[in-house]
Amino acid sequence: MERTALVTGASGGLGAEFARIFAREGYSLLLVARSERLLRERSSELSRTYGIEARWIALDLAEQGAPQRLLESVRQERVEVEALVNNAGFGDVSPLAHADAEKISRMVELNVGCLTELCRGIVPDMLERGSGAVLNVASVAAFMPGPYMASYFATKAYVLSFSEALSAELSGTGVTCTALCPGPTRTGFWKAAGDEGSPLLSALPCKTPAQVAEEGYRGLVLGKAIVVPGWTNRIAAFGTRLLPRAAVRGLAARAIRP
């Protein structure tokens, strides 16, 4: 039976690396992102290199109704999604009082709403088949509050909590859910967030998208509930549970804005 991996945010960064890994492992692909040109180029390249079928849908998943349109396309084309990678998302560096209201709304819709809708729409079919895997991209930000990035950190806390709960619900069904929680990664995230000079980029070692995606894929294959790539990131993530919350807030604030 043909295995299909649906990867959102697949035009670059982590999403592009996930697409490459699943193609390498023999999956057919359904790639989703905003850029039609980049999706076409990536799909053609992966098809030639790995001999797999790669389809794409150019769609802005932050738009109202976009997740439903994607799910409808999946149903109409009778795509059996064996692996769902919810990678699409973005952040914003700004005190909430000065943040762009529309950008915040789109961020919450993409990082939280879209991810939830796609899981709700695709997991039932996985359960019916008795096999499948979901990988939701969270962040080490999920483990702490983030002054000056309050909304972004909160969305990733949701992703982690949601994914852990879903992992428990799926236990013993043949379907798994993994939350991938990377630290700083060499992608275009900080440029898109509006702050390429954040101290976080030097406070923690930066991994490449390929390194993070490989660790995420291994965690997905093993059915892990949480994957935090890199020992320094694991210390940063789980160490926050040992510190007073006031100290965590202060450290996070200084890491984002000195």
Rounded to two decimals, what is the model's pTM?
0.90
In which band, very low, low, confident or very high, does the pLDDT at 101 lie, cut at 50, 70 and 90? very high
Q: What is residue 240's predicted lDDT score, i.e. its pLDDT?
A: 81
Q: Is residue 233 pLDDT above 90, yes or no?
A: no
Give the model confidence (pLDDT) of 106-129 as tens digits: 999 999 999 999 999 999 999 999
Angle 87-202-162 from CA coordinates, rounded to 5°: 30
> Measuring CA to CA, which residue among 232, 155, 2, 33 is closest to residue 136?
155
Measure the CA–CA gap between 200 and 153, rounded to whole angstroms.
Answer: 13
User: What amino acid occupies position 40?
Assistant: R
Q: What is residue 201's predicted lDDT score, i.e. its pLDDT?
A: 52
Task: Write out the DSSP string of the chain.
Answer: ---EEEEESTTSHHHHHHHHHHHHTT-EEEEEES-HHHHHHHHHHHHHHH---EEEEE--TTSTTHHHHHHHHHHHTT--EEEEEE-------S-GGGS-HHHHHHHHIIIIIIHHHHHHHHHHHHHHHT-EEEEEE--GGGGS--TTSHHHHHHHHHHHHHHHHHHHHTTTTTEEEEEE---SBSSSHHHHHT-TT-THHHHSPPBPHHHHHHHHHHHHHHT-SEE--SHHHHHHHHHTTTS-HHHHHHHHHHHH--
pLDDT > 90: what percent of the chain? 78
Active site residues: 152
